[in-house]
Amino acid sequence: MVEVPSIPEPQKASLDAKHSALIIVDMQNDFVNERGQLYVGEAARRTIPNIKRLLEKARGSGATVVFTQDWHLEDDPEFPIWGKHAVANTWGSEIIEELRPLEGEIIIKKLRYDAFFGTSLDHVLRIKGIRNVVVTGTVSNICVLHTAASAALNLYRVYLPVDCVSALTEFDQLATLRQISFLYKGILTRSDLLEFVP
């Protein structure tokens, strides 16, 4: 039996909306809808109202909102690993209806796990003067973790609401919380504990 290292308890966070961004990672039909090609399961469905709560807070305060979309060509080299999923311009690649972006909100189409890799995300955040990123979405130990890691390595302050991320297994979820809090010094919080202050 492997002992799980201690993971900090979620804490309150009050962020300056002007310098903060909510990043919603890959909440797409192929991952979150039970008919999707890589359905994460009920864990992903349970995060929807929590992410929606943060989304409403961000929109109401004027914080920056960013959606990422996994976005693949028909012969993507990732498919031998995961099977075909999130093919560009298909139903599976669409962001779920419950979290549909508003006109003018930022959508980053990403080719790999990390939303910063090969995209304009860092450029957009710097133009907007962002210092804090709140990372939500799925899958915790894959695209969420790699995006949070890249944010930290690019010197953004990372906040992870634990009720707004989902993984395929409990082990994967706990490993993500440990890595983000321990290795990247991210702050663990919850959707009810985090506020964007105008």
The DSSP 8-state label assigned to residue 164 in this structure reads G
Does 1 map to a domain?
no
| Closest residue by Cα to residue 74 from 93, 50, 96, 52 | 93
**Is 151 part of any domain?**
yes
Q: Would you say residue 1 has pLDDT above 90?
A: no
For the question of residue 30 being annotated catalytic, the response is: no
Residue owning tokens 């915790």: 140
Question: Per residue in 93-136, pLDDT tens?
Answer: 999 999 999 999 999 999 999 999 999 999 999 999 999 999 99
Q: The CATH number of the domain where 148 resides is what?
A: 3.40.50.850
Structural domain boundaries, residue 171: 32-182
68 pLDDT higher than 90: yes
**Is 59 part of a structural domain of the chain?**
yes
State which amino acid sits at residue 65. Answer: V
Reported as a single tens digit per residue, the pLDDT across 137-194 is 999 999 999 999 999 999 999 999 999 999 999 999 999 999 999 999 999 999 999 9
User: Chain-centre distance of CA 80, in angstroms?
Assistant: 24
> How far is residue 177's CA from residue 175's CA, in Å, rounded to a whole number?
6
pLDDT at residue 57 in the model: 98
Residue 13 lies in a domain: no
- Give the active site residue among 70, 76, 110, 163: 110
Q: Residue 130: inside a domain, yes or no?
A: yes
The reply to whether 164 belongs to the active site is: no
Provide the CB-side half-sphere exposure for 55 (13 A, CA).
22
Asked if 130 and 41 count as a contact pair (C-beta separation under 8 A), the reply is no
Residues 6+ away with beta carbon under 8 Å from 70: 26, 28, 30, 31, 85, 86, 93, 110, 143
26 is catalytic: yes
pLDDT digits (tens, 9 = 90+) for 24-60: 999 999 999 999 999 999 999 999 999 999 999 999 9
pLDDT value, residue 171: 95
Whether the predicted pLDDT of 4 surpasses 90:
no
Number of domains observed in the structure of the chain: 1
The residues near 103 (Cβ < 8 Å, ≥ 6 apart) are none
pLDDT at res. 3: 85
What pLDDT does residue 154 have? 98
CB hemisphere CA count around 65 (13 angstroms): 19
Sign of the CA dihedral running 165, 170, 172, 174:
positive
Whether 189 is covered by a domain: the verdict is: no
Task: Pull the structure tokens for residue 96.
Answer: 């779920």
Catalytic residue among 57, 143, 163, 164: 143
Q: Nearest 10 degrees: CA dihedral of 9, 10, 12, 15? A: 130
For residue 163, give the nearest of 46, 7, 58 by alpha carbon: 46
Q: Given this model, what pLDDT does residue 25 score?
A: 98
Average pLDDT, the chain: 97
> Which residues are CB-neighbours of 63 under 8 A, at least 6 positions away?
15, 17, 18, 20, 21, 22, 57, 196
Tens-place pLDDT, residues 5-34:
999 999 999 999 999 999 999 999 999 999
Bridge partner residues of 15 (DSSP):
196
pLDDT at 39: 97
Whether 147 maps to a domain, the answer reads: yes
Considering the domain boundaries, does residue 5 fall inside one? no
Residues in the chain: 198
Centre a 10 Å sphere on the Cβ of residue 2 and count the other Cβ atoms it contains. Answer: 5
